[in-house]
Structure 1
Amino acid sequence: MSADQAIHPPDLDNSPKKRGRSRSGTRSGLERSSARLGWAFASPALLLVAAVTIFPIVFSLIMSFSNVNVTGDGFSLSGFTGHNFSIVFTSDLWQHAIVFTTLYTIVTVIVEIILGTAIALVLERLTASRGWMMALLLLPWAIITVISAQLWSYVYNGVYGVLNVVLSPLNGGHDINVLGGSFSATAAMAVADIWKTTPFVAIIALAGLVMLPGDIVEAARIDGANAWTIFWRVRLPLLRPTLSIAVLFRILQAFGLFDLPYVLTGGGPGDSTESLALLGWKVMFNDLKFGPGAAVAASTAGIVLIACLVFLKVFRSQVGSEETA
């Protein structure tokens, strides 16, 4: 053995631990490289989302806290003020719109959850024809809301509408204008909304039913539980997370109600079917009051955000209590 070998012995530590460290270092480098490559590919889509989604939201929020002056070339922002929100919060139109939108959202979402779950239970029992039924079920959901609203306006028309042709003989031959009354117009909008969005809830509920563990249901059946007890005590609690996701999405969609009242009623009769989204559009583009219109949009977004946070907190607490139990 030479003196150099005695002073600097060869590295004989070829243990699995060291090999693991080297592999880990190589793997972490590959992961960082893959992450950078992934961000590079995703950056155009992220920039597009920021341009069409985040920027308008931020600009609308800035506009709601600014003095907006309409000029011949457009509008200009000056100063910082909360006057726009004071105008909105003290307006009877805003108060009515928030009550109407909230009640409409609650009623339609509850009905859609019940009908969607029932349809999902039926589809679960189908075998060969399930694919065809799901395709037919998704047709209303695939139709653009403006187009479906226009189709329903033909049904509700007080002169040549299908509903008028069917019900007018029962009314002594007189025409029935469903969209002419406050309650009937709201009910007509709710029916059109439920017809379109119930398939969405049904598909989500069906996915949750398919993923449920079959051994738990079989054990309950062996213990003598009937179908009703199995659904309420076993399947529905296990299906709650899936239905909660459907409820969350439907709250977000229903609270932004705009297409149906815009096409069917225009917010009427009077302002009885005027939602928050439609009110903001009217204030901003009909009355050219951009500051208060932006304040209506910002208040709507804030209400939806608070409602979603409360819903998620309640959902997490329920799931945590079930897991500890």
Structure 2
Amino acid sequence: MNARNAAFGPERRLARTGRLYTAPSLLVILAITVFPIVFSVVLSFAEVRLTLNGFQVERLTLGNYDAMLGSGEWWYALLFTAGYTAVTVAVELALGIMAALVLERLDAARGWIMALLLIPWSMITVVSGQLWAFVYDSTYGAATWFLGLFTGSPPVIMGDPASAIAAMAAADIWKTTPFVAIIVLSGLMLIPRDVYESAEIDGAGPWTTFWRITLPMLRPTLAIAVLFRILQAFGLFDLPFVLTSGGPGTSTQSLAMMGYTVLFQDLNIGPGAAIATSTALIVLLACLAFIKVFRYQVGREEIR
């Protein structure tokens, strides 16, 4: 027993030293992440009155959530955010897989092409959004000029809800598809080559090989890519803020942008906190459901 304690003594001291060194960073994380989240949740249940020195909590109530759930504007923002997320993530996943399959077959030029692909992703969204605003400008925009060749007159892309949503989705897909492609490419590089050799010997064609071998073996990688993109896309704010300001009307107003408008522009602290809290809860539940379904599918594949 004494020998065992003596053996574990250095490990325990090392663990205590590690906890001591990581404590400051954990406290910083606690201060800048956990505390604001908890404070926002508390404010979402509060009736807040603005004062000259800031704000004052009058009482706790469920009225903020009642008003939110009874608001047609909130339901539209929820449906828009969910639909926008589903469409953009699906398109990005399809384009990312195709780009990754092409990159996998390249040799010398792969590094250069990957570097070029990462330029849109590395660009700050506000900057890329402003660039796309120039492209969509109704007076001198390149997209406006190009579409005018077919329609006869230059269209106002951002003046129509349908075209504004499509234009915003195109800008988002342009920026984030390289991110998905790089993740998928890393998964492709991990697939053993002998699996493809065996499939070729068995007479499997490229299409069959992709659906029966490549895609099933890419499921863990695709799950990571989809999970990251859902987290990012559902928090959509900066792109509509720069491109459309939520318009025309509220047609491109996401949940995050609605929360910003209510909280910081209308100065309705309680309702704004309720919108932010509900958005975080929806994302959390969606991610948990996605992970559960993914684990179930992996378990079925292992049984087979």
| TM-score, normalization by structure 1 | 0.91
User: Secondary structure of 1:69's match?
Assistant: strand
Comparing 245-254 and 127-136, the one that deviates more:
127-136
Match for residue 142 of structure 1 among 122, 136, 146: 122
Is residue 311 of structure 1 aligned with residue 286 of structure 2? no
Q: Any stretches of 5+ residues in structure 2 without a counterpart? A: none
Residue of structure 1 in register with 2:83 after alignment: 103
Is residue 233 of structure 1 aligned with residue 233 of structure 2? no
Q: Deviations over 1:159-183 (max 9, x none)?
A: 11111222323332x3321111101
Distance 1:167 1:289, change over 3 A: same
CA distance in 1 between partners of 2:25 and 2:126 (Å): 27
Residue of structure 2 in register with 1:261 after alignment: 240
CA distance in 1 between partners of 2:128 and 2:247 (Å): 19
Residue of structure 2 in register with 1:168 after alignment: 148
CA drift of 1:316 comes to 0.6
CA distance in 2 between partners of 1:277 and 1:229 (Å): 42
User: Secondary structure of 1:115's match?
Assistant: helix
Residue of structure 2 in register with 1:251 after alignment: 230
CA drift of 1:256 comes to 0.3
Q: Which amino acid aligns with 2:237?
A: F
| TM-score, normalization by structure 2 | 0.97
* Structure 1 segment 28-177 matched on structure 2, within 5 A: 28-172=8-152, 174-177=153-156
The Cα RMSD (Å) is: 1.3
Residue of structure 1 in register with 2:259 after alignment: 280
CA distance in 1 between partners of 2:226 and 2:284 (Å): 14
CA drift of 1:76 comes to 1.2
Residue of structure 1 in register with 2:273 after alignment: 294
* Structure 1 segment 7-22 matched on structure 2, within 5 A: 22=3
Q: Deviations over 1:105-137 (max 9, x none)?
A: 000000000000110101111111111111111
CA distance in 2 between partners of 1:25 and 1:226 (Å): 61
User: Secondary structure of 1:75's match?
Assistant: strand
Q: Which amino acid aligns with 1:147?
A: V
Is residue 196 of structure 1 aligned with residue 175 of structure 2? yes
Q: Which amino acid aligns with 1:283?
A: V
CA drift of 1:207 comes to 0.4
CA drift of 1:33 comes to 2.0
Q: Any stretches of 5+ residues in structure 1 without a counterpart? A: 1-17
CA drift of 1:277 comes to 0.2
Q: Which amino acid aligns with 1:71?
A: T
CA distance in 2 between partners of 1:47 and 1:323 (Å): 41
CA drift of 1:52 comes to 1.6
Between the two proteins, the alignment pairs up a number of residues equal to 304
User: Secondary structure of 2:126's match?
Assistant: helix
Q: Deviations over 1:137-164 (max 9, x none)?
A: 1110000011110110000000111112
Distance 1:184 1:27, change over 3 A: farther
Match for residue 189 of structure 2 among 203, 210, 217: 210
CA distance in 1 between partners of 2:28 and 2:156 (Å): 45
CA distance in 1 between partners of 2:208 and 2:47 (Å): 60
CA distance in 1 between partners of 2:5 and 2:207 (Å): 56
CA drift of 1:324 comes to 1.4
CA distance in 2 between partners of 1:137 and 1:29 (Å): 51
Distance 1:78 1:114, change over 3 A: same
CA distance in 2 between partners of 1:102 and 1:189 (Å): 15
Q: Decide which structure has the larger Cα Rg and report it.
A: 1
CA drift of 1:29 comes to 2.1
CA distance in 2 between partners of 1:219 and 1:179 (Å): 52
Residue of structure 1 in register with 2:160 after alignment: 181
Q: Deviations over 1:46-75 (max 9, x none)?
A: 222222211111110000011111111111
Comparing 59-68 and 72-81, the one that deviates more:
72-81
